[in-house]
């Protein structure tokens, strides 16, 4: 369906044409200098020491988990409220997810994480063992939902205490950082053992697809690059000592990424301005509230999440979605919770409560960088139950 106001579309009004044209003119489409330049640009921006460009964020997560020592029948702690990608990656490696609840910002609940590790597990020489299943818990995957930074201070404390690897799923949070605390001025994705960004079509910067794995560990970065390029030990004679992947990002996509990254801070300013306008327009409606950001953080304002506290004009989330649709506006509920997904219904889920509360009440509203003020006011007026027909 063609929406008058779509949920989230990319904007390419910088050097995208220039850099892509260079790829086309030189016929360097698959490999070339832009891959290396994009990796260096991500390092320069995030202050991560090493970056490996990947075909998507999911492949970056798979590399990170493999390099974290995840083996068949290991367990990984992952939030139930997230896009399914990090959960599926756990399955790709033959491991098992343990689903965790969310906090007031939809991020991993650190209190329940600590309670689970303390009460439901036992620290052994082999690692943190789940008392119920007998399996070793190898890692935790915090996801910075909709660009809001997780409580990395406490997540890292818990991980160090219980010998867990930390893989930050920062797919949605490029540009988000901490303004205070232990990790002041640190970007999401650069605190754990690994961080992974996504450049999917709806992300804050896009290469049409693509992702980036970052780490501060040189040996792990070299191994990640090795696995991402089919584990070539001798590229001339095609000798492969291990099983690798075809996970490398193309030159032409990297060219797009560099151009997009050049404008990232400006895009974040625009998205904050639009968020503030939404908040102002909706401030007099007691039934709804825009999700805020954790204290002492600078989020990237990727998505705008509307929390519908009560029935609005006899409608809930579903009714408001239909009303938007009638007016040519695309809105999206948050993901179906992963512990309720058919492939994962029999997996362990620890005291899931807040995530269900959010799932029943949350709607993501249009958030494109080129969203006009009049469009925000139109969307807000529909929420106010005015101008409900095209």
pLDDT at 388: 42
- The 10s digit of each residue's pLDDT in 340-350 is 999 999 999 99
Q: 338 and 322, same structural domain?
A: yes
| Ramachandran assignment for 358, one of left (phi > 0), alpha (psi -120 to 50 degrees), beta (any other) | alpha
Place of tokens 């891959």: 35
pLDDT at 312: 60
Residues 6+ apart with CB under 8 A from 279: 290
From the list 340, 47, 88, 4, the residue with the least C-alpha distance to 195 is: 47
For the chain, the domain total comes to 2
Strands (DSSP E) found in 216-274: 232-234, 239-240
Is 96 within 8 Å of 76 (Cβ atoms)?
yes
Going by pLDDT thresholds of 50, 70 and 90, the confidence category of residue 313 is low
User: What are the helix (H) ranges across 166-249?
Assistant: 218-228
Going by pLDDT thresholds of 50, 70 and 90, the confidence category of residue 12 is very high
Q: What is the mean pLDDT of the chain?
A: 95
User: Which of 225, 243, 262 is the last residue in one of the domains?
Assistant: 262
Distance CA 232, CA 317 (A): 51
Q: 102 and 45, same structural domain?
A: yes
DSSP state, residue 135: P
Residues 6+ apart with CB under 8 A from 238: 232
pLDDT at 387 over 80: no
Q: 228 and 86, same structural domain?
A: yes
Q: 282 and 151, same structural domain?
A: no
pLDDT at 194 over 50: yes
User: Which of 202, 236, 262 is the last residue in one of the domains?
Assistant: 262
Q: 353 and 207, same structural domain?
A: no
pLDDT at 390: 42
- How do strand 232-234 and strand 211-215 relate by DSSP bridges? unpaired
- The 10s digit of each residue's pLDDT in 334-378 is 999 999 999 999 999 999 999 999 999 999 999 999 999 999 999
Q: Can you say how many angstroms the Cα of residue 34 is from the centroid of all Cα atoms in its chain? A: 24
- The 10s digit of each residue's pLDDT in 201-257 is 999 999 999 999 999 999 999 999 999 999 999 989 999 999 999 999 999 999 999
For 314, the domain range is 264-383
User: Which of 262, 296, 320 is the last residue in one of the domains?
Assistant: 262
Q: 341 and 310, same structural domain?
A: yes
Q: Is 330 inside a domain boundary?
A: yes
Average pLDDT for residues 19-24, to the nearest whole number? 97
Q: 193 and 258, same structural domain?
A: yes
pTM of the model: 0.96
Residues 6+ apart with CB under 8 A from 183: 152, 153, 191
Q: Is 146 inside a domain boundary?
A: yes
pLDDT at 389 over 50: no
Residue 6 in tokens: 């779509």
């Amino acid at each position: 369906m063609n929406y008058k106001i779509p949920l989230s579309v990319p904007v390419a009004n910088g050097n995208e044409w220039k850099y892509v044209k260079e790829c086309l003119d030189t016929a360097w489409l698959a490999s070339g200098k832009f891959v290396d330049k994009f990796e260096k640009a991500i390092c320069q921006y995030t202050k991560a020491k090493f970056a490996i460009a990947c075909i998507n964020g999911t492949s970056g997560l798979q590399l990170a988990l493999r390099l974290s020592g995840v083996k068949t029948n290991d367990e990984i702690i992952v939030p139930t409220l997230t896009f399914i990608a990090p959960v599926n990656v756990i399955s790709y490696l033959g491991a098992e997810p343990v689903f965790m609840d969310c906090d007031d910002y939809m991020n991993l609940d650190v209190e329940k994480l600590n309670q689970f590790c303390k009460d439901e597990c036992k620290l052994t020489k082999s690692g943190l063992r789940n008392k119920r299943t007998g399996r070793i818990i190898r890692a935790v995957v915090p996801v910075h939902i909709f660009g809001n930074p997780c409580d990395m201070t406490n997540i890292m404390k818990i991980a160090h205490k219980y010998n867990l690897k930390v893989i930050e799923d920062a797919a949605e949070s490029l540009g988000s950082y901490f303004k205070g605390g232990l990790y002041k001025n640190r970007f999401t994705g650069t605190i754990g053992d690994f961080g992974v960004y996504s450049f999917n079509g709806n992300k804050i910067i896009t290469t049409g697809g693509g992702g980036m794995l970052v780490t501060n560990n040189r040996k792990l970065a070299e191994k990640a690059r090795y696995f991402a390029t089919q584990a070539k030990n001798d590229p001339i004679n095609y000798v492969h000592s291990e099983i690798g992947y075809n996970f490398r990002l193309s030159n032409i996509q990297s060219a797009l990424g560099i151009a997009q990254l050049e404008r990232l801070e400006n895009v974040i300013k625009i998205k904050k301005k639009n968020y503030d306008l939404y908040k102002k327009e909706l401030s007099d409606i007691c039934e709804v509230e825009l999700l805020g950001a954790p204290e002492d953080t600078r989020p990237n304002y990727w998505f705008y999440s509307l929390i519908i506290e009560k029935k609005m004009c006899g409608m809930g989330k579903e009714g408001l979605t239909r009303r938007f649709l009638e007016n040519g506006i695309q809105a999206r509920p948050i993901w179906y919770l992963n512990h309720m997904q058919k492939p994962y219904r029999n997996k362990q889920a620890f005291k899931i409560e807040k995530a269900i509360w959010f799932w029943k009440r949350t709607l993501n509203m249009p958030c494109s960088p080129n969203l006009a003020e009049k469009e925000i006011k139109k969307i807000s007026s529909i929420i106010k139950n005015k101008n409900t027909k095209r």
